[in-house]
Structure formats: C-alpha cells, structure tokens
C-alpha cells in the first residue's frame, strides 16, 4: 500500500523526529522566509518589490532575474500562504518574461535584467514546470480570479504548449515526444537530470488538459526511471547535462556533478515523501549520502560522476548540504539523520552567491519540516 502524503495527508517533520522542538522548527521556517523575502536582512535577502505591485527574486551571483528563481519564489509563496507575494512575482513574470510571438511564443524568457529587459529570448524548462505546479497549487489554495490570476487556466495553457509546440512547425516542445523526457532547452535533444520532477508530473496527470493526462502519466514513469539510469551506479552522482540514455553530455563542461546536479537528491526525496512509490529511485540518495560521508561542506567540489574530484571547489556548498539533507526524505538510518541535523545547525548563506544556496536551503527546510505540501 502506498504511504506517501498524497494518499495519507500526513507530512513528516524529520526535525521533530530527531528531538527538535516543533515550535523551534516553526520559528525557523518563519525566520528563514523573512530573511529571504524582507528588506530587514540585506545580507540574505533575494526577493525585492517594485512600486507597481510586482516583485522578483535576484540571482545574486549573476545579477539577473531567472525563471528558475521566479518559479521557486512562487512555489515558496504558495507554501507559506502569501498570495500577495505570489501575485507580485507572477505579474512580473507575465509582464517581462512572457514571450508573445516568435519561435518561443507561450514560453518565458529564462533571464532578464532587473528592470525587466530580456537578456535572452529562449526558455529554460525547469522554470515552466515549477510555474505550472505553483499555479495549480495557487488555484487550489486560493481560487482563480481574473487573468492573469486565473491560475489553473494559466497552468493548463502553459503545459499544453510545453508538449504540443512543434506539431504545427511552430517551435519546439519542452518534452521529447518519443521518450517523454524533459529537454534542457526546447531546441536540443538532451536533458538535465535535475529537471526531472516525476512528483510534479503525477499531479499534472490529474489537473492538466484531459487530452494531455496520459502523456503526463507516461512522463512520470519515464522520469523516475531516467533519474535512476542517469546516476552513477556506485556513487549515485548525476551529471548536469545528460543524453536520453543517461550518459553524461560534456558539452561546455556540464557532464560532471556540479551545481544543477544537487537538485536530483531533492527531487527524489520530495517524490518519495509525496507519493512513496516503489519506482522512486531511493537508492540513488542512499549512494549520494554515502559518497559524501565524512566530507565537510568546505571541501565539497566538482566531481566526475564516478567520484573523481576536481581541484575546483563547489560553488554552492550550502546548497549541496541542503540537498543531502532533503534527500533524507527517501532514506533512513544514522547517516540520513546526520545530514538533517548538520543542515539544521547551518545558517543561510550570505554574500553574492547566496541565491541558489538559499533557494535550496528553504526548500529543504520546508520539506524536512513537513511544510512542502500538495494543495489539492
């Protein structure tokens, strides 16, 4: 019998199970949210508001606004029941990032300047998939309003474009029609293992356009399988870019375990927490946690997926630690508990590279406290 929270409605608080007071957990979640989203903590703040009822998250390491960050911010806001912030971010996205014409009509420009000027006219599919589920959650939690706050309709239209574009020679889909695997970008025939969110697709298979639901069921199964084959059989490490057979794609040096790759452990953990399906590749997280056993965060590095380290240090060590901890949603035992407690004792990152680390930090904190929930 499936025991995931989707079926039971029960979300585990792993901190409380390890003896941390529930009130302290609640306080830390609220405090962390405030440190990311308010002006009172400039050393950790990543969310900013404009005078025209909009808001954006800044990739502080690159000084731009990305669909990744905007979609993350929307997911954080709906989990925290902050419709005001959710709507500000979504309004910014629709005003500046949405592409109304051309090859990528219906998608969102992956990077913009802080004033909204597009840095590129191409999308990154990890943003679109997070936008879609955040919008469905918003619809289910708060209800739809007039456009662009007709959340569910916006999500359904976006997902339809993601899988049907190209059928009339009008662009490229974001999922490969044959393998049902998400692409790195629509024009290419390879993927990013950290983009694979089978727990999202399982919900899309219920809420998307009815004609598309069989596709999303296939995509759910395909991505659970793909995460397993893309991870190294001994270390559990996944490359940033990989071909559809799971082998690393070293184009531009992205065939190694580096920043994007960290999210694979997060995705496996949350998939298992939500659905608890036997097909979820929990053994990948077990291998990753064993690989980093005894390695202090200050010595995290770039690695070949076979575990061979580079001299280059990890760009986002706190993000990696947060991912190892979030991976504990799919593992158990002393090592699993070690990562949860180590994460609990680790503060948010400060400085110019704080954005990515602290996004993963907050998702991990929400997940491990039982607050990253499915809103039906």
Residues assigned a catalytic role: 68, 260
Task: State the SS3 of the chain.
Answer: CCCCHHHHCCCCCHHHHCCCCHHHHHHHHHHHHHHHHCCCCCCCCCEEECCCCCEEECECCCCEEEHHHHHHHHHHHHHCCCHHHHHHHHHHHHHHHECCCCCCCCCECCEECCCCCECCCCCCHHHHHHHHHHHHHHHHHHCCCCCCCCHHHHHHHHHHHHHHCCCCCCCCCCECCCCCCECCCCCCCCECHHHCCHHHHHHHHHHCCHHHHHHHHHHHHHHHHHHHHHCCCCCCCCCCCECCCCCECCHHHCCCECHHHHHHHHHHHHHHHHHCCCCCCHHHHHHHHHHCCCCCHHHCEEECCCCCEEEEECCCHHHHHHHHHHHHHHCCCHHHHHHHHHHHCCCCCCCCCHHHHHHHHHHHHHHHCCCCCCCC
Give pairs for 148-153: CB < 8 Å, separation 24+: 148/90, 148/91, 148/94, 149/87, 149/90, 152/207
Give yes or no for a contact between 362 and 77, defined as CB atoms under 8 angstroms apart.
no
Longest distance between any two alpha carbons in the chain, whole Å: 57
For tokens 């997926």, name the residue: 305
């Amino acid at each position: 019998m499936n025991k995931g929270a989707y079926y039971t409605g029960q979300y585990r608080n792993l901190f409380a199970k390890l003896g941390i007071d529930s009130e302290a957990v609640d306080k830390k979640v609220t405090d962390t949210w405030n440190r990311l989203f308010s002006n009172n903590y400039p050393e950790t703040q990543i969310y900013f508001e404009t005078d025209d009822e909009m808001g954006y998250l800044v990739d502080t390491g690159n000084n731009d606004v990305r669909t990744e960050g905007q979609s993350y911010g929307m997911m954080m806001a709906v989990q925290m029941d902050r419709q005001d912030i959710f709507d500000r971010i979504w309004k910014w996205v629709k005003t500046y990032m949405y592409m109304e014409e051309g090859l990528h009509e219906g998608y969102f420009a992956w990077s913009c300047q802080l004033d909204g000027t597009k840095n590129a006219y191409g999308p990154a599919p990890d943003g679109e998939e997070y936008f879609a589920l955040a919008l469905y959650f918003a619809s289910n939690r708060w209800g739809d309003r007039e456009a662009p706050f007709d959340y569910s309709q916006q999500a359904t239209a976006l997902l339809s474009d993601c899988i049907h574009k190209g059928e009339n020679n009008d662009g490229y889909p974001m999922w490969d029609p044959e393998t049902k695997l998400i692409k790195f970008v629509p024009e290419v025939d390879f993927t990013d293992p950290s983009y694979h969110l089978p727990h999202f697709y399982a919900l899309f298979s219920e809420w998307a356009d009815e004609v598309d639901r069989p596709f999303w069921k296939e995509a759910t199964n395909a991505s659970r399988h793909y995460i397993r084959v893309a991870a190294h059989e001994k270390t559990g490490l996944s490359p940033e870019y990989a071909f559809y057979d799971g082998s690393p794609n070293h184009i531009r040096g992205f065939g190694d375990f580096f920043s994007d790759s960290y999210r694979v452990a997060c995705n496996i953990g949350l998939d298992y927490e939500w659905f608890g399906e036997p097909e979820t590749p929990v053994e990948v997280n077990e291998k990753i946690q064993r690989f980093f056993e005894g390695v202090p965060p200050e010595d995290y590095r770039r690695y070949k997926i076979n575990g061979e380290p580079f001299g280059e240090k990890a760009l986002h060590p706190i993000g990696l630690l947060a991912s190892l901890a979030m991976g504990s949603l799919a593992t158990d035992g002393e090592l699993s508990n070690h990562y949860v407690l180590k994460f609990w004792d680790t503060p948010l990152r400060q400085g110019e590279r704080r954005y990515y680390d602290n996004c993963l930090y907050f998702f991990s904190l929400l997940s491990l406290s039982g607050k990253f929930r499915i809103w039906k």
